[in-house]
Structure 1
């Protein structure tokens, strides 16, 4: 009895046991119903039906397996009224049982027929090598005998493999692989170790072995044989090299071998063979070229053969997909990109190392773009593949054009080209739903922005030089304007909803925030830099040549640095105006909630900067006017007037903050925060103005007295506002301010004030405290009502 008959018998026994189990379950259910009927007093009693066991006869010997299913249904089976259908569970169990046995069988087959044979031939080769080494070390046989015996072992193994091919093809293929490996290394040993055969004969023999390997791989239809032939083919020139430096012969041989191997891999569609050939070729070539360094001895040869290898793999990779009509997978895209960029990197290195060809780098980059463009054009015209392949190749064209721009150009022109390219790609991606273009535009948008940042920083390299940059009429401003226009275009395109969902949603989410953020920053910095350029030119125009520096031939210069402080003041005015216009534009036109939050954050930051550093800058301008530090320049009263210009723009920003707080763009109520912002700003401004007036009048030492009285009066004002408008936070703020004023009075002011000043301050603050107390007593009902309302 073989295994299949025994398996069928066991399955039949299992089915019999399952049927008997179902019968027992039916009898038990009938007995339960009888018990329930007796307990309830019902006269009608259901008799338990005894289900006769169903027996399935085992199949006779030599019954074919497919006959078991026909005998599985017993003709004498009596159905029970309570008996459920059991056909499906039986079938599922049997199928599962069979599948498990098939998996075990396949695993056993893989080990027995495949893995063990490969391990065996490897061990055999190692054994032969160990035995040969032992014989060589002990001079047991002569060199010629060793080589002859090696060829004999290889030939015998080959003959035995061919004899077994008809019945045991897989095992025979493994033996053939081992025989070919032995032939390769015996030939190498005969040439290199013992010099028994000349180089030409060794080369011919190895070419014959390689050709035989290719034929054997086709006959056996086994990739493993082809891989052995591939490794042997690439090893031949290195094993037989005599150090003559004939690299032209080497790479010609490799090119021919590549074409043959790739035709084989193409015919059999053996992609691993293509990958192996690709990797070995470029590793050998790159290693050789990097080892040369800056040696230009093989300049033309390197470019020629790198181009041949690139085109060979490029055409083969595309031919795979075009003839098979397959969609490019991840590995195919990786190979395509690696092949293109390895070739470009090698070519760039070769051209850059030669001083006579550095100017050709941009042309070489464009040549790569043209190659990909021609291929994409052929694919599009002939309709050789789907659109995804066409877009992928076209993306390569755009990539090399992108690279060519910084290679050939510099400065703002790089930014202009990259920005326009990013905008066009983004437009095609969103409007035409070309996913790969959106992926390309994503890094290009940030590349263009970083290039613009580089342009901005390069401006400071010109600062201090004799050459001046004309504001507005310069390449930097032109590139920034084009950048702004392209990003406005992309922002408008991004607002249009596309029907096709994004393949990478995280990328689209990043762009939804990055594009408007970069746009706002660019608009602000662009005009800020032009203001800086204008005042930097003014500073350079005021240069006065003084005496020669001690110990040097360079003269000493004097500049009107008041323009530097004026530049800072105008930048603050411009910043206040920019934040105001941005807020107004969002409230009236865009009505964007996310931008409203950004408006609020920007406005608060600008207010804080102006109240701190901005007012300090204005005070420096006043000091420059009152106490000029150079006799060569005249400081005008505009240093004082610009203060009030800035106050107007600051008030404009406060108004826009109020409008933003009133609009429905902010989801939370910021009334309390705006009150604090408004009244703190007013206090800060009038305190600064008080100091300014005292400085201009020549009584600057009285500012301590004046500030204390001013803060006390302002506290009274806040109390009045808080009572009139029922704003508890204003009244609390007034008390805090009055407390700060008293602390300042007793711990700071009192030591530097004279008797009259002390009297004035104490009387004034005392009167203010009495007025505040009176107001609280008079309007306490308003305070109580206010508290009740809040409760």
Structure 2
């Protein structure tokens, strides 16, 4: 078995050397061909090659500093440039997939070989660790040998060797107990330091990422379950300061993001498990380190690249989240001290931009962050829920930065963050169920809802002004976002109202909710032009409004009258219930005349049905209130109203509809009038006449006959007037009818 492995290894090396020589010859031939082609293009046929004109955009691109290696923060600061940020990563994976798979397979192969040797008891524990160290060192040596001609390949190979060393020391500590915890930690730190030096020497950012990742994973590798907080975060601080130095010296940005991710996770976990006042110092140090990291290009070239802006936003809000959580858990005051301090830091940078009279992207970013932090301070001072408030403010900040910079990274962040805000707000609303005796308005649940509502409303305004949302392709998202936003605002206020009315009779809660809903829709429709409400959404809201009017009239009005007559409610509730006529009258008088609602024929029927139900219902309510002295009087009075007065009301309304139809020339009014008359006549002959006494029957028939005759006379009169107007118009337009 051993001889076979040696033979296969030698054969592989021979094949590799042979093909490596051939590949190098092919590379030289391709380079020579490229040179000849370039000479032919630029010297032999100059008329076929045209240099692109130099523009301001190309000049800006040439003047923009380029980092020594590709990274997430290497995007140029051009608002109109829409690059695919993930394409470099996919290109890297496509070109190096086999290498990554190969080194992973090699590490697994070594592991399985060691396991096989252990199962056979070929080697002892110390020898096993020695083999792992030798294997890792050998792989690193191979990467060193290949680094000149295959830089990326060598970096991945070396990273695999580093991984072997890390896992070898970890196993030696955890499984074999060959080292003490401090010794194992010291060895891992030494490996990390060596790897960082190697990455700097090779000028390899990829290898630096491997090294830092191993350094941050080291505490987990040698953890024994003991809580040594001071040592852990002192070590992390040293790593972060080292990262910052490398970022300034080498302009490597991936290392900063790796460090930020690990540090945030460590701090968040420790803060949640062991809230200690000493953590504040490490939060402040972390804030300063990563703020300096984010402002690196800004200090050098007065530029804020997309991922630098994102780092500024994240480090502000993650630090505030942790620090405020610590203060609230430990019951320290004031909790707003850190948002205010961080806001002042950004305000100083804003003043610097203002003093230079440079009102560009950095100015907008610092202004947005400062305002957001002051807003968060106000929200937290009123004891709002931490996560929901900060996420809501942060989502608005992301949208504001997207609007100012047109960088798609912030659009994606907003798309991710806003649904999280909605979910967090849904969880916050459960506080109405779990909490008793909340103050009116000034309670944590509603104040948090107020922050979310304000942020959502600002989002609607910002989205309305974004160029990206003025074409038809993004109309669906814009409409969905508008519906969700209005829904959040509606539910936030409704839940607060219902919570404080929960002790009242159900009809009070129901009628108040209906009244609030009608006014809410009315306000949206009233300001529909300012809000740039979609036409379809406007029509849907009008239909919902009319349905709510019908439900409110049939249920709320009758229920309030019943409770008033029963003594459960004072009669003052009825005038309050009638307030719904304010939005109803305004919409009927003005809004319908200026909208596209009547382009749909069904809309006429919706309006006329609502008007008929509302008028009939309120006349019924007035009749009952004026005649009934007790709840027991309602049933006979209701029957009497239905038999005697309701047909008369419908006849009058039908006449009005017919008159409106003849005057406007709209057939739907005429149809509605005839349908109402038919319904009234059917009701009269099918039910009413059999329930009336003789006197009431005579009065009903006489009055109904008079109303029908008057309606018929009115119909004929209007018809004749219209015919005369048409004939006169035709005479005036006759070309033969001239005057000298």
Calculate the TM-score normalised by the size of structure 2: 0.56
1:255 deviation in Å? 1.9
Query: Is the 1:705–1:761 contact (alpha carbons within 8 Å) kept by the matching residues of 2?
Result: no
Among 227, 231, 234, which residue is 2:209 paired with? 227
Alignment CA distance shift 1:360-1:738 (3 Å): same
> How large is the Cα RMSD of the aligned pairs?
7.2
2:350 is equivalent to residue 363 of structure 1? no
Alignment CA distance shift 1:279-1:785 (3 Å): same
* Aligned pairs for 1:730-769 within 5 A: 730=673, 733-747=676-690, 749=691, 758-764=693-699
Among 245, 268, 289, which residue is 1:312 paired with? 289
Q: Which residue of 1 aligns with 2:61?
A: none
Q: Which residue of 1 aligns with 2:17?
A: none
Among 360, 377, 380, which residue is 1:387 paired with? 360
2:359 is equivalent to residue 400 of structure 1? no
Q: Give ranges in structure 1 of 5+ residues lacking alignment.
A: 8-62, 72-87, 89-108, 540-560, 751-757
* Residues 383-442 of structure 1: CA deviation (Å, up to 9, x unaligned): 9x983244334333333333333332259xxx9x99xx99x999x999x978899999x9
Query: Is the 1:365–1:401 contact (alpha carbons within 8 Å) kept by the matching residues of 2?
Result: yes
Alignment CA distance shift 1:729-1:250 (3 Å): closer
2:280 is equivalent to residue 303 of structure 1? yes
1:243 deviation in Å? 6.7
1:151 deviation in Å? 5.8
Alignment CA distance shift 1:375-1:148 (3 Å): same
Query: Is the 2:303–2:362 contact (alpha carbons within 8 Å) kept by the matching residues of 1?
Result: no
Alignment CA distance shift 1:206-1:322 (3 Å): same
Q: Which residue of 2 aligns with 1:328?
A: 305
* Aligned pairs for 1:66-77 within 5 A: none
1:737 deviation in Å? 1.8
Tell me the distance in 1 between the aligned counterparts of 2:100 and 2:581: 86
* Residues 182-232 of structure 1: CA deviation (Å, up to 9, x unaligned): 555666667676676777766655544433322322232233432343244
1:315 deviation in Å? 1.6
* Aligned pairs for 1:281-300 within 5 A: 281-290=263-272, 292-293=273-274, 296=276, 299-300=277-278
Q: Which residue of 2 aligns with 1:257?
A: 239
Q: What secondary structure, in the 3-state scheme, does the structure 2 residue paired with 1:343 have? A: helix
Alignment CA distance shift 1:377-1:65 (3 Å): closer
1:167 deviation in Å? 6.4
Query: Is the 1:715–1:738 contact (alpha carbons within 8 Å) kept by the matching residues of 2?
Result: no
Query: Is the 1:719–1:731 contact (alpha carbons within 8 Å) kept by the matching residues of 2?
Result: yes
Instruction: Give the greater-gyration-radius structure (CA).
Output: 1
1:343 deviation in Å? 2.9
Query: Is the 2:290–2:315 contact (alpha carbons within 8 Å) kept by the matching residues of 1?
Result: yes
Q: What secondary structure, in the 3-state scheme, does the structure 2 residue paired with 1:394 have? A: helix
Query: Is the 1:524–1:578 contact (alpha carbons within 8 Å) kept by the matching residues of 2?
Result: no
Q: Which residue of 1 aligns with 2:318?
A: 342
* Aligned pairs for 1:38-57 within 5 A: none
1:501 deviation in Å? 7.2
Q: Which residue of 2 aligns with 1:212?
A: 194
Q: Give ranges in structure 2 of 5+ residues lacking alignment.
A: 1-20, 27-31, 41-47, 49-90, 663-669, 727-740
Tell me the distance in 2 between the aligned counterparts of 1:737 and 1:162: 98
Q: What secondary structure, in the 3-state scheme, does the structure 2 residue paired with 1:737 have? A: helix
* Residues 539-564 of structure 1: CA deviation (Å, up to 9, x unaligned): 9xxxxxxxxxxxxxxxxxxxxx9xx9
1:736 deviation in Å? 3.1
* Aligned pairs for 1:478-557 within 5 A: none
Q: What secondary structure, in the 3-state scheme, does the structure 2 residue paired with 1:361 have? A: coil
Tell me the distance in 2 between the aligned counterparts of 1:612 and 1:159: 84
* Residues 508-542 of structure 1: CA deviation (Å, up to 9, x unaligned): 7789999999999999999x99xx99xx9xx9xxx
* Residues 256-300 of structure 1: CA deviation (Å, up to 9, x unaligned): 22322343344333333333233333334444454x446x5xx31
Alignment CA distance shift 1:111-1:648 (3 Å): closer
Q: Which residue of 1 aligns with 2:327?
A: 351
Q: Which residue of 2 aligns with 1:668?
A: 598
Alignment CA distance shift 1:610-1:167 (3 Å): closer
1:118 deviation in Å? 6.0
* Aligned pairs for 1:429-508 within 5 A: none
Q: Which residue of 1 aligns with 2:85?
A: none
* Aligned pairs for 1:114-263 within 5 A: 126=108, 128-132=110-114, 140=122, 176-177=158-159, 180=162, 206-237=188-219, 239=221, 245-263=227-245
1:313 deviation in Å? 2.4
Tell me the distance in 2 between the aligned counterparts of 1:612 and 1:148: 84
* Residues 718-748 of structure 1: CA deviation (Å, up to 9, x unaligned): 898899997675466345323313333454x
Q: Which residue of 2 aligns with 1:542?
A: none
Tell me the distance in 2 between the aligned counterparts of 1:148 and 1:681: 90
Query: Is the 1:582–1:599 contact (alpha carbons within 8 Å) kept by the matching residues of 2?
Result: no
1:164 deviation in Å? 6.1
Alignment CA distance shift 1:745-1:687 (3 Å): same
Alignment CA distance shift 1:788-1:399 (3 Å): same
Alignment CA distance shift 1:578-1:251 (3 Å): closer
Query: Is the 2:365–2:401 contact (alpha carbons within 8 Å) kept by the matching residues of 1?
Result: no
Alignment CA distance shift 1:565-1:261 (3 Å): closer
1:379 deviation in Å? 6.0
Tell me the distance in 2 between the aligned counterparts of 1:716 and 1:238: 84
Tell me the distance in 1 between the aligned counterparts of 2:525 and 2:107: 84
Alignment CA distance shift 1:128-1:616 (3 Å): closer
1:354 deviation in Å? 2.2
* Residues 488-513 of structure 1: CA deviation (Å, up to 9, x unaligned): xx99x979x97977689768778999
Query: Is the 2:519–2:583 contact (alpha carbons within 8 Å) kept by the matching residues of 1?
Result: no
Segment drifting more, 267-276 vs 239-248? 239-248
Query: Is the 1:661–1:671 contact (alpha carbons within 8 Å) kept by the matching residues of 2?
Result: no
1:147 deviation in Å? 6.0
1:312 deviation in Å? 1.7
* Residues 135-155 of structure 1: CA deviation (Å, up to 9, x unaligned): 556555666666666666666
Query: Is the 2:525–2:538 contact (alpha carbons within 8 Å) kept by the matching residues of 1?
Result: no
1:349 deviation in Å? 3.5
